[in-house]
A and B are shown apart, each in its own frame.
Chain A
């Protein structure tokens, strides 16, 4: 089961995702992300104790990032600190050299 916790840290929203981050919890994660958009703060997604993750969650984060960017808001996703997340991002071909230009930033752009 996917765990989602919403913390406030130094005036910013932190969504802590844990456990099984898979399609089964994707709807719930979308709901929390939609709420975060309206909160008007910077949102950080961090992963803790991820037991499993699939590409539906990465797709969701990508969609959320686009929406945040369109509204001039900031969403960060800390993939690097969770080994399963980073491994999936690499193996499913999400990491890239050229990031999204249209949204100025890209969740998956590797530092040059």
Chain B
């Protein structure tokens, strides 16, 4: 029974660890890619070490003994590196990336039942041992049972102010004070300021005496005894003062930590009278007290370090608090959004009934329900939002591996990683983005020698950025490569019968040809791209997300691909209109204004219908004609003017109903290819309204514009 319970607990534990495990290997990958940029940076080395250490500790605690052991072996490399016994090389980074992939494969084998090649683990461990410095390798070979890595200590850590004044004879006793400081540093986050005020002039100095002392601010989870242990052999002859700073949560508050003056008084460096004597002067307090000789500059320095340390600590804690979250299965979230969608539909029905019932009480209840539903909708949608950086960071590895394979040098820069997008959109965006980035590296970025010949830096750049634009997120992938060859694209399109020889195309339409199925101008088919399969799949994926793709390219300068994606695929603010008995929804984010249209005002020029709006000629589409709706047109129609990518165009409808929370329902398979409609929604009375695909409808108008 107990065994059964143990195995149940372990399974529960493993399930709880699942997301964290994949986050850890993703963090490990990011840290390694950062290390590649700065192989000597101790902070980054520590970051890699921490990631491996946590995989080891948490993996061990969840019973993944093979992963824990493997991570431990690899971690040894970084332990040696952080102690200056090993220099990080490209070989070590490549090996650790391979180890990271193997750890991922081992997790996959547990969680997804995919078989992992166990011999890879042994191969990597063999290579790790070969790279280790002799002493570390020896240590590693000794069998030992190591306790699992301690859990993170952030929550239980405390901050201490330490003053360490060694005896003058400390050098002669063979104790190096630096070693004690190093030991303190190993206990946690530490700031050290050497106090030099007691150092005499050269002629009076006995160089074998120590006149230095140190002020230290340390945040550690190891407790005050661990600090005392550091000084255990020198405490009798030295002055060691340890004070805990964050008693009663003083470091967790929102208000500003103590002012410099307060700190100096608290630390015993300044009297209250001294503070009063200088506070009337308009100068920086620290400079002032030093200038007036009230406090040695070293003491001010130490107090400033304490202030900064606490600020950093608070920031870290805030981050931890922000990150404090519960993990919920995404299916539960999907269900929640579905239910909110249903609620929105019922609420619309309630509002409609209330509007017709002539009952003030019912109307006020309906309004209240409407307000709460809108709030609930926004909240549930925001739960599904994730920063796009979670996806972006995966591309660094793609870019690195591919550019190395192709002998190119490419830097992937990212901007706007914090931009949030619906989880489903992010998940479905991964493959198209990988394809675009691979294309940029394969076709866009030139070989280093070629780049140098054309006066470009040796290393190519791909800039991946995300930003909000109304109800959309714009994702741009811009490279500084060779750009697209417009003539070649045209020739190929004519060859393939996609366009007529004399077809007049805008630049945008010309580059859009590469999004057609089977289109490729690559002379050779490579492993990476050039088979003409890909960009059309990218287009399909983006279409399915109700997004758009735009390509801008300058020969010799580079290409920018912009994806405009809706923030969410579930519920949008819509603008409800009516033609005859049919309802249509226009996404509210695209609506610019509404004007009336009388028959007398209708103009036609070169077959295009134009409307004069305060002197500006705006093309319009009569939806009744576009969708073949029969019946009489009212004498005064309504034009909803929309704006997409700077182009204003109107849609003529019979009546405007008004704002409408639109729960998007997909059209069935049968209607998937209907142009100009992106989905449907259910109205309060149970009838169906179609959601207009405004960008698609406007493409026709745009083409007319060019011809005109």
Contact = CB atoms under 8 A, between A and B. Distances in A.
Interface in B187-205: 191-194, 196, 199-205
Interface string B296-325: 011011001000000000000000000000
A73 B291 CA distance: 22
Nearest to B200: A63
Given A33-B202, A98-B290, A59 B212 contact: yes
Given A54-B178, A56-B171, A26 B194 contact: no
A55 B290 CA distance: 25
A63 B211 CA distance: 10
Contacts of A33: 202
A98 B297 CA distance: 6
A101 B291 contact: yes
B207 A26 contact: yes
Contacts of B193: 93, 96
B297 A101 contact: yes
Contact of A101 (B176, B192, B210, B290): B290
Contacts of B201: 63, 66-67, 70
Max chain B C-beta neighbours (<10 A), residue from A59, A70, A93: A93
Contacts of A27: 207-208
A60 interface: yes
Interface in B572-589: none
A56 B211 CA distance: 9
Interface in B589-640: none
Contacts of A59: 196, 199, 205, 207, 210-212
Contacts of A54: 176, 178
A96 B301 contact: yes
A66 B200 CA distance: 8
A49 B201 CA distance: 28
A100 to B, nearest CB: 6
Contacts, number: 98
A23 B208 contact: yes
A88 to B, nearest CB: 7
A6 interface: no
Nearest to B171: A23
Contacts of A93: 181, 191-194, 214-216
Contacts of A85: none
Interface string A84-102: 0000100111101111111
Contact of A55 (B185, B205, B212): B212
A29 interface: yes
Given A93-B181, A101-B297, A34 B203 contact: yes
Of the four ranges (under 10, 10 to 19, 20 to 34, 35 or more), the interface on chain A belongs to 20 to 34
B287 interface: yes
Of the four ranges (under 10, 10 to 19, 20 to 34, 35 or more), the interface on chain B belongs to 35 or more
A37 interface: yes
A30 B200 CA distance: 13
A62 interface: yes
Interface string B202-245: 11110110111011100000000000000000000000000000
B607 to A, nearest CB: 69
A59 B580 CA distance: 92
A60 B171 CA distance: 13
Max chain A C-beta neighbours (<10 A), residue from B181, B196, B204: B196
A98 B171 contact: no
A64 B202 CA distance: 5
A85 to B, nearest CB: 13
B60 interface: no
29 contacts: A23-B171, A23-B207, A23-B208, A26-B207, A27-B207, A29-B207, A33-B202, A37-B202, A54-B178, A56-B171, A56-B207, A56-B208, A60-B207, A63-B204, A67-B202, A70-B201, A88-B178, A91-B178, A92-B214, A93-B181, A94-B194, A94-B196, A97-B304, A98-B297, A98-B300, A98-B304, A100-B297, A101-B297, A102-B293
Interface of A: 23, 26-27, 29-30, 33-34, 37, 54-56, 58-60, 62-64, 66-67, 70, 88, 91-94, 96-102, 108
